[in-house]
Amino acid sequence: MKRIAETFENLRNQDKTAFIPFSVAGFPDVNASLEIFLKLAEAGNVVEFGFPFSDPTADGPVIQQAAHTAIQNGMNMDAAFEMIRKIRTRTDTPIIFFSYFNPIHKYGPARFAATAAECGVDGVLVVDLPMEESHFLKPQTDAAGIAWINLATPTTPEARIQDMNHNGSGFLYYVSRTGVTGANGGLPTDLAQQCSKLRVLSELPVAVGFGIATPEDAANLRGHADGVVVGSAIVSHVATKGIGTELDSWLKTMTDSLA
């Protein structure tokens, strides 16, 4: 949790916006996935570690297919934690465990939180567990010192944002639009203004995601959001172009756009 706060504070002092890349554990295969996360940790300021789920209702076709592939490759909770252990030996970049609740419930909330903390996970984002149901896991992650990251959307009332200030920690994840993840559909024309307004209401740093696909998208949000999350575009790049130097170059363009 401390690493997240320090990262955002340091970037804010430098007038920079955090680059928060996402990928799916086990995609395109387990070994390549580890290499991808190490690249993301080097290029990004915070890494979102996506755990694959068979029914990812918040995700678009790119991440759905990646999750399906990862599950076929044998990715499970124990394998995911082993991968995080390996990542943590190579980097101090904060790691956010992004998951649906079903796999965590199956693994056991207390066991999940304890193992995540032991591996070096800094925060958890459970995409289908709203604030009213956070008691199913948050007491365990709080006890383990893991940040609890809430989701806000364009339709979230201001009063609920205030509640999230007290319920959450680490940062507030702002979903740029209704619908699912992915580049299709574009971004709202007033997204930068929405983020600026939310930063006034939120006591936590605001990171925005869903649909951010290009360096230009990211650059337009610099100074309006504290962080920019890029997921489907990375997964799509890996699926079509692999994990070689082209990925390194593309990640650098994203990093440079936020500097």
pTM: 0.94
> What is the per-residue pLDDT for 178?
62
Q: Does residue 246 have a pLDDT over 80?
A: yes
177 pLDDT band, cuts 50/70/90, is low
55 pLDDT band, cuts 50/70/90, is confident
Query: Which residue in the list 29, 59, 190, 216 is annotated as catalytic?
Result: 59
> What is the per-residue pLDDT for 179?
53
Instruction: Tell me the C-alpha distance between 35 and 31, whole Å.
Output: 7
Active site residue 217: no
Give the CATH number for residue 85: 3.20.20.70
Characterize 219-238 residue by residue with b for buried, 16 or more Cβ atoms within 10 angstroms of its Cβ, and e for exposed.
bbbeebbbbbbbbbbbbbbb
Contact of 228 with 218, CB cutoff 8 Å: yes
**Which is more confident, 61 or 57?**
61
Q: How many CB atoms lie within 10 A of CB 245?
A: 8
Q: Does residue 183 have a pLDDT over 80?
A: no
Number of domains in the chain: 1
Instruction: Give the pairing of strands 18-24 and 227-230.
Output: parallel
Sequential DSSP letters for 187-254: --TTHHHHHHHHHHH-SS-EEEESS--SHHHHHHHBTTBSEEEE-HHHHHHHHHH-SSHHHHHHHHHH
Give the range among 43-47, 60-64, 113-117 with minimum mean pLDDT.
60-64
pLDDT digits (tens, 9 = 90+) for 29-41: 999 999 999 999 9
The token duo for 117 is 């903390």
Q: What is the mean pLDDT of residues 81-98?
A: 99
60 pLDDT band, cuts 50/70/90, is confident
Active site residue 82: no
> What is the per-residue pLDDT for 181?
59
Instruction: Give the pairing of strands 95-99 and 123-126.
Output: parallel
Q: What is the mean pLDDT of residues 60-70?
A: 94
Place of tokens 């297919």: 65
Instruction: Tell me the C-alpha distance between 153 and 161, whole Å.
Output: 10
**Which is more confident, 131 or 179?**
131
The token duo for 56 is 């990812």
Query: Which residue in the list 15, 48, 133, 217 is annotated as catalytic?
Result: 48
Place of tokens 């610099």: 222
> What is the per-residue pLDDT for 34?
98
Q: What is the mean pLDDT of residues 70-85?
A: 98
Instruction: Tell me the C-alpha distance between 179 and 89, whole Å.
Output: 36
Beta bridge partners of 123: 96, 147
Share of the chain above pLDDT 90, in %: 87
Q: Does residue 184 have a pLDDT over 60?
A: no
Q: Look up the domain containing 68 and give its range.
A: 1-258
> What is the per-residue pLDDT for 87?
99
Contact of 38 with 49, CB cutoff 8 Å: no
